[in-house]
Structure 1
Amino acid sequence: MLDPTSTAAIAAVLGAVGSGLANEAGKAAWESAGGLVRRIVGREVRAPRGHAELDGIAQQVHDAVRHDPALARAWTAFARSAPSPGRPGRVPALGASTRFFTDRDGERKALSREASRKADGRPRIAVLHGPQGIGTSALAIHWGCAEARRFPDGQLYADLRGTGTDAGGVGGTDPSTVLRLLLQQLGIPAAEIPPGHDDRQALLRACTAERRMLIVLDHARSAAQILPVLTSTPGVFVVVAARHPLPGLDAVGIPVGPLADKDARRLLAEVARAGNVPLDRAALPAVLARCAGSPFALRAAAARLTAQHWRQEGRPAADAARTAVADAIHALAPDAARALRLLAQRDWPAVGAPLAAATLGLDETSAERVLAELAAAHLMESAPSGTSGHGGTYWIRPLIREYAATEALREDGLAAAEQAVRDAVRWCVDFAEPASRAALSQGWRLGEADRPASDGTRYTDAGGALTALRDELGNLLQAVGAAEELGDTDAVFRLNQALWPVQLKMGCHDELLPALRAGVRATEARDPASREAARMHTLLGLNLTELGRWPEAESAFTAAARAERAAGHFRGQATAIESLGLLRLREWRFQEAYDCFESADRALDGVSADGEGARDLPRARALLERHRGRALRGLGQWSRAQARLESALAFFRETAEAYNTARTLTDLAETFEASGRPVDALPLIDEAIAALADEQAHYPLIHLRALRRRCVDERAGA
């Protein structure tokens, strides 16, 4: 068994704790590790950034504990209770293949050859590439389903098309998000997925090591999206579907072209028969010529196989898939065609009746009818699982959206198309703000005194409101990008502020980062010294802190504090300085953290009795007391830490804030445990566990139970 005080074992523990920073247990353990390392080494040691610094700290800890049995026991006890990386909890499978699939024998054989190639250390990877509508995605999924027995440990799928805040997701899904999506499919809980890209990559490789798995990456745009997923594990096969070959990716390229005439005829006949559409054989030559071997065009044509239509319009198509979209749109009733054109102005990942009604100026019943008509015409599809939204939501394929959005400029005009997007953005704001208030009723929000009171009565509890925000997150992020393009800085800011509960309680940091950057750009462009710009810098800094981008986070907090000070906004200034202090705790810079919390408390003195944030002052000061106690514990100043924490605890008990009561009890218990008083810590731990009984706080409970085991062991060994 590996000696827990060896350099390798210490490095492994620190690495595991660092990769667990996505949840409360990991964050608490990381802070505890910093205080323990400082105590063992005898001086300040800043948190490591990268493996080289981590190994250096591990060596320092090893050198210290090998000469001090008491310190060795303290480290060993911590190592035994430290959180461990997540483990795969399920065997994932692909979604169902299409019922009607024909030909592609050559492409399927090429995939099978690469999948069964003799292991030689090179990753197994193939890229299926061809124009839109040619069926690369269908081929990848169909082959994977047919060959499921090759992959007994599961099949993973990620759609890389992207639906972020850029114009319709042009850049596609970023590599860190791809890794998160795949880890979630393996059963790793969201709160156990590391925030850092490198740690996610390492965890995915660990989860797939010695396994036989298929990974399908759909709608890829660049090699950069694919490279982090690759592994030399011989049993892992990666299949990529893309429009073009991907330069920079060493893979087997498999071009996918039009179906041969006989196969196109068979596919058309099968789809038409399933839809109970009579097949006019006299029209077949014109249909086949117009569809040009495109599976997408053939499926679209099968719904409209009338001799008169095809004898009139059966000329060959230069772009069969695009022509099929045009034919389908032209066959719609005018109101449905207009609806598609206006909804296509943005890449909404999940369009339901409320969003459609706002965009189109309809009531929800009429919007539901239009969506159903578009779905029946195969111009909208049920939203893929994993996107925002819930039952009864749809999305528009990129091929259809691109054509319909262009048509809107000709048929409806730029002003109408722009107004539809503005109306959709306004709906998103009106949806998000009440949900945000219901999800996190405590605290202050910039500018809320100038707006009508939010109606949060539709939510029965904070959990339901938070779930509603998370369900709609894809659309809200898309709305941020739309608002920035429209120059609607107010909407950009309000959406980002409304999404703070999602960031605070559910993470989603990589998803939110582009929106927060858009918020900083928009508010700074309007007025870099404004309170909105300052608030956006603070929210961005908190996000970057969780993602481990600490130098960027420091710059954001510094900019926020500077702008708040210039605006004379003391409450916001205190928040920015407090946030910088929390970053310093994460960096194990405990004295600087304490100084930040002191400075934030002084800034609160400037808030007038009727000023913005005045109602929240007692709670804000109690939180600062708790944070100062944490910093003092890291410095090893036990009695001062105890006094600060007990002061905060009294407030949270009086106001019946169960969650903050439990967190402060945990901090106080850790202070007692670190100072050699495990017996005094145990009743506090039990009280904290009881306080969290109805909070569904899974990860704080994990940390508390680990702390309890450590205290029990230390009491027994005393």
Structure 2
Amino acid sequence: MTVRPGPASAGENTLRLSILGPLRAWHRGTELHLGPPKQRSVLALLLVRAGRPVPVHHLVDSLWDGDPPERAVNVVHRHVGALRRLLEPGLTQRSEARVLVRAAGGYRLDVGEEALDLHRFRTLRDAGQEAADHDRPGEAADLLLAALALRSGPTAATLPPGLRSHTDFAAVDAEYFRAAQAAAETALVSRRTQQALPLLGQAAQEDSLNEVLQAGFIRVLAAEGLTARALEQYRRVRGRLADELGVDPGPELRAAQADVLRGTVSPTADTPPRTSAATAATTAPTASAPPASPASEGRSPALVRPAQLPAALRVFSGRRTEIERLDSLLPAGTRTSVAIGGAPGVGKTTLALHWAHRAAHRFPDGQLYLDLRGYDPSGDPLTPSTAICHFLESLGIPSERVPAGLDSRTALYRSVLAGRRCLIVLDNARNAEQVRPLLPGGPGCFTVVTSREQLTGLVASAGTSLLTVDVLTVAEAVDFLTRRLGRPRVERSREAALAIIEHCGRLPLTLAVVCARAESRPGTPLAEVAAELERSRDSLQAFTLSGTSDPVTDTRSVFSWSYRALTGQAADAFRRLWLSPSPDVSPQAAASLTGLPMEKTRQVMSELHRANLWIEYGSGRYGTHELLKRFGQEMSRAEDTTASVEGARQRLYDHYLHSAHHASSAVNTHREHPTLPPPAPGTQVMTFTGTAGTADWLHHEMPALHAIAVRDTYHGEGVRPWRLAAVLELILDRSGRRQEQTEIQSAALLAAQRAGDAQGQAQMHRSLGFALGRTQQGDQAARHLEQALVLFAEAGDLLGEALTHRYLAFLRNAMEAHEQALTHYEAALALYRTARHELGIASVTNEVGWTRILLRDFEGAVEYCQRAVDIARRVGNRNVEAASWDSLGVAHHRLGREPEALRALHRALEHYRRLGDAYLTADTLVHIGNVHRSASPGKARQAWTEALDILDSLGHPEGELIRERLKDIDGGSR
């Protein structure tokens, strides 16, 4: 037996086997050589049926394709014996095998779940399907994607081609593709399309003619904004279908293309994914040619035609896209139910009833309606058993004929509706469990469900479409006011109408309440109504009709229905989350606000997501409507202690302070960063590797960072806001966010001055001076930097004083006062030498070299930059060494020494890439392009293009300068 090193095993005696891809095995961490092809094939056939007996005749027939040699059985036994010794090396002739054992005229391979990737795949897949069935789409997607990730290629990929097509292996491949279809559905619903994309791409590439899988992959591409790729994938699949099968795309694939073209596929779209063919409901009735009602063909006259739809509102505005989507489901023939979800007050019931009245003529056997009271103030939702009883009675079944048990009632209900064409509206559902028994079993009926929760469990189990209703657009809201209050009144006070719309958050319910108040006072100008709303901005009192206790017309009551149904920890979280100043929050920020561990926080946020109080976006962040945040604030004021609120604020501040510190350290690992006090208990801190993650984090968190840095409300006892401003200095500068940088540093300076914090004042004068210098406000910058020098000198802070001199030198160079810059560098060198700070000496030596370049003393620059390289190497600081190589390369270039310049610049580039410093990588690429510009314009274009890609990914404004250079070199536009 020959061996080669493999992955470490989980334990000393661990056997690991893999069949989801190449056939492989490890024992005690060492990969096993599995022998000749026939022996490997025996192992694969046993693995694919692991835990079950495999008859010898099955092995023989499979190995020799029904034409075995005379001694085929002996050959199988011999291979089994070799495999036993391979898998259990200590096994003697007298020992009883424990892994490959005799069983029922053949052999059985007994391995635990952790030992075989196929076992782990099936466990994860089954858990994912169960999570989907129980309305946990995020968990389902995570589990299904984890299952897909176990596969590295076709089952038993290294077997001979003839055996690879064996039905046992094909069946496992089919399991994988079905899991991929389910993963696409749950990823779209739970907005995990980014994680799903590469795994689904692999599955789609392998099963290129699977239209359901291809449709899911196309929607995931579109959800990630890759519209062109999605349409190209559709064209590619359509071509294969025509070339290989001679057929056109089926309805599932065509529907996916239509969704992409309409732009209705996105992580926040109103058109979530279709379910797979395996779980789809049967064909819905068509609008063009509805079949004759069986009621006229001899059905019992005792079965009546119900007409239970409540009256639709006299005023309905907007929702054109949603109406078109609902209309499209009837002739599509692939759906028999739709679940309309959205936040409280967004108009789900209004939309459902408006559309139901429009579509009622398509259902000649009647319309059923029932309020399931999912969030009734009484706290008693209607049970499915009671609901079915209501429906059966409505359909003419006497109460004495209605059986007692839920299963029996469901069977009778579906039997009665079989062959009928009814429209069923299930309003205000609590969850999928409440709805599932109420869905008819046949193709003739169509069910509309409304719920504050996203009933994703119905997607997998019943083929239900999901339609999420958002707030009105501004145009729809204006139309709403116009229809309620009259065009003259709205047009006379257009600005006031827009202010009312803004205050109401474009929620139909709150707009309706305000319109009701305005209608009751026809002589009151809309400007006065808007003023009342402005005065009531900090509460929901303005949205409560005076003199009424009707919870349907009371936004606070509507919101409270959802809030009171939360578990204790979820309610606590809802009352903390309003403290975030950002439009949305990361899981880590949410955990810091709640003080809960990450896993518990995810569970709590999932509960809030299901309740449509906070929604999980595709990026994994959570957001909500401003009115719901206000309601959370109001509940917090009513129920929370001051200490608990301040504790949450402190944890949020510490989350951003320490996360920004880690981000700054990732951008420049060798820069000296301020020492911070430890975060408060319960704070979750982000960590980063390289600059790519920091850029994405900064993009999402900039609103929160800015607000927390400048608002006094987040500066509690013991909080020093200048610390956050100090750690943000580098990453804001590298990302080119000059305005935010200046505002944050200015606010921090004011806070330090009010607190009498001399250290904070010194730091912020220096940081603000640097930021102002970046925006060409030289005189103001100099004043702040000079003040910083005084404060650092008074404190005896040599290093602080030295860095301020370097900032002043940088400013003077920007103002082309290079000799003054050298004076400041000399002062900084003297301070560093006094402090025996070798890293500072190396940095200043390089910066003097750069100043020599600006003075056109290129030989002097080479001398200083080479000296800086040597010191940085001795100190072991790759960041300063990289900067010095970069400066040295520019100096050589100015002297016309292109080979030396390129050698130095590529050394700098190598270091910056290893450090993960994206901005300085781009800066060095620009310098490399400069060297190549004359002699090798193609290489210049390549370097500048790469630099531009990096700067664009960082959102850095310097990208425009590079774009102009590329225009010049290309002689066109870019």
Alignment of 1:81-100 (within 5 A): 98=270
Is residue 557 from structure 1 mapped to residue 785 from structure 2 by the alignment? yes
The 1-side partners of 2:747 and 2:934 are apart by: 47
Aligned match of 1:517? 746
Unaligned runs of 5+ in 2: 1-225, 229-259, 273-314, 322-343, 352-471, 485-507, 516-547, 938-974
Aligned match of 1:587? 815
Larger Rg: 2
For residues 474-501 of structure 1, the C-alpha deviation after alignment (integer angstroms, 9 at most, x for no partner) is: 5444443466643446442332333344
Report deviation, 1:692.
4.8
Aligned match of 1:709? 932
Report deviation, 1:569.
0.9
The 2-side partners of 1:289 and 1:634 are apart by: 65
Alignment of 1:254-653 (within 5 A): 255-258=478-481, 292=512, 314=550, 317=553, 321=555, 324-383=558-617, 390-391=619-620, 393-434=621-662, 436-437=664-665, 439-447=667-675, 461-463=689-691, 466=694, 470=698, 474-481=703-710, 485-488=714-717, 490-527=719-756, 530-607=758-835, 617-653=837-873
Normalization by structure 2: what TM-score?
Answer: 0.38
Report deviation, 1:594.
1.6
The 1-side partners of 2:899 and 2:665 are apart by: 41
Identity within the alignment, %: 18
Check 1:687–1:420 CA distance in 2 against 1; reply closer, same or farther (3 A cut): closer
The 2-side partners of 1:653 and 1:475 are apart by: 40
Report deviation, 1:628.
1.2
Letter in 2 for 1:629: G
Report deviation, 1:572.
0.3
Report deviation, 1:380.
0.8
The 1-side partners of 2:592 and 2:930 are apart by: 51
Letter in 2 for 1:604: Y
Report deviation, 1:564.
0.9
CA contact (8 A) 2:725 2:748 kept: yes
Report deviation, 1:680.
5.1
For residues 291-345 of structure 1, the C-alpha deviation after alignment (integer angstroms, 9 at most, x for no partner) is: 83799xxxxxxxxxxxxxxxx964673xx65553344334444443332122213
Aligned match of 1:37? none
For residues 65-88 of structure 1, the C-alpha deviation after alignment (integer angstroms, 9 at most, x for no partner) is: xxxxxxxxxxxxxxxxxxxxxxxx
CA contact (8 A) 1:689 1:704 kept: no
The 2-side partners of 1:253 and 1:316 are apart by: 22
- Please provide the CA RMSD for this pair: 4.6
Check 1:315–1:427 CA distance in 2 against 1; reply closer, same or farther (3 A cut): closer
The 2-side partners of 1:290 and 1:567 are apart by: 58
For residues 234-272 of structure 1, the C-alpha deviation after alignment (integer angstroms, 9 at most, x for no partner) is: xxxxxxx998xxxxxxxx9993435969xxxxxxxxxxx
Aligned match of 1:81? none
Report deviation, 1:579.
0.8
The 2-side partners of 1:602 and 1:456 are apart by: 42
Check 1:681–1:353 CA distance in 2 against 1; reply closer, same or farther (3 A cut): closer
The 2-side partners of 1:394 and 1:460 are apart by: 21
CA contact (8 A) 1:492 1:519 kept: yes
CA contact (8 A) 1:291 1:321 kept: no
The 2-side partners of 1:586 and 1:421 are apart by: 40
CA contact (8 A) 1:483 1:491 kept: no
CA contact (8 A) 1:679 1:711 kept: no
Aligned match of 2:147? none
Q: What is the DSSP-based 3-state SS (H/G/I as helix, E as strand, rest coil) of the residue aligned with 1:257?
A: helix
Check 1:560–1:702 CA distance in 2 against 1; reply closer, same or farther (3 A cut): same
Aligned match of 1:26? none
Report deviation, 1:573.
0.9
The 2-side partners of 1:535 and 1:395 are apart by: 35
For residues 631-652 of structure 1, the C-alpha deviation after alignment (integer angstroms, 9 at most, x for no partner) is: 2221223333232222112223
Check 1:666–1:332 CA distance in 2 against 1; reply closer, same or farther (3 A cut): closer
Q: How many residues align?
A: 429
Report deviation, 1:348.
3.6
Check 1:573–1:291 CA distance in 2 against 1; reply closer, same or farther (3 A cut): closer
Report deviation, 1:289.
8.9
CA contact (8 A) 1:629 1:644 kept: yes
The 1-side partners of 2:473 and 2:776 are apart by: 32
Letter in 1 for 2:558: A
The 2-side partners of 1:479 and 1:411 are apart by: 24
Alignment of 1:23-62 (within 5 A): none
Report deviation, 1:548.
4.0
Q: What is the DSSP-based 3-state SS (H/G/I as helix, E as strand, rest coil) of the residue aligned with 2:480?
A: coil
The 1-side partners of 2:885 and 2:753 are apart by: 40
Report deviation, 1:466.
3.9
CA contact (8 A) 1:348 1:475 kept: yes
CA contact (8 A) 2:551 2:558 kept: no
The 2-side partners of 1:525 and 1:90 are apart by: 53
The 2-side partners of 1:362 and 1:713 are apart by: 58
**Which of residues 910, 923, 928 in structure 2 aligns to 1:700?**
923
Check 1:254–1:556 CA distance in 2 against 1; reply closer, same or farther (3 A cut): farther
Check 1:99–1:339 CA distance in 2 against 1; reply closer, same or farther (3 A cut): same
Report deviation, 1:405.
0.8
Normalization by structure 1: what TM-score?
Answer: 0.51
Check 1:632–1:707 CA distance in 2 against 1; reply closer, same or farther (3 A cut): same
Report deviation, 1:394.
0.9
Letter in 1 for 2:827: S
Q: What is the DSSP-based 3-state SS (H/G/I as helix, E as strand, rest coil) of the residue aligned with 1:445?
A: coil
Aligned match of 1:76? none
For residues 43-65 of structure 1, the C-alpha deviation after alignment (integer angstroms, 9 at most, x for no partner) is: xxxxxxxxxxxxxxxxxxxxxxx
Letter in 2 for 1:559: Q
Aligned match of 2:207? none
Letter in 2 for 1:409: R
Check 1:522–1:488 CA distance in 2 against 1; reply closer, same or farther (3 A cut): farther
Greater relative CO (CA pairs within 8 A, separation 6+): 1
The 2-side partners of 1:368 and 1:405 are apart by: 21
Q: What is the DSSP-based 3-state SS (H/G/I as helix, E as strand, rest coil) of the residue aligned with 1:255?
A: helix
CA contact (8 A) 1:534 1:559 kept: yes
Check 1:400–1:290 CA distance in 2 against 1; reply closer, same or farther (3 A cut): closer
The 2-side partners of 1:344 and 1:289 are apart by: 21
Unaligned runs of 5+ in 1: 1-88, 109-131, 140-240, 244-251, 262-287, 296-311, 608-613
CA contact (8 A) 1:346 1:478 kept: no
Q: What is the DSSP-based 3-state SS (H/G/I as helix, E as strand, rest coil) of the residue aligned with 1:426?
A: helix
CA contact (8 A) 2:849 2:863 kept: yes
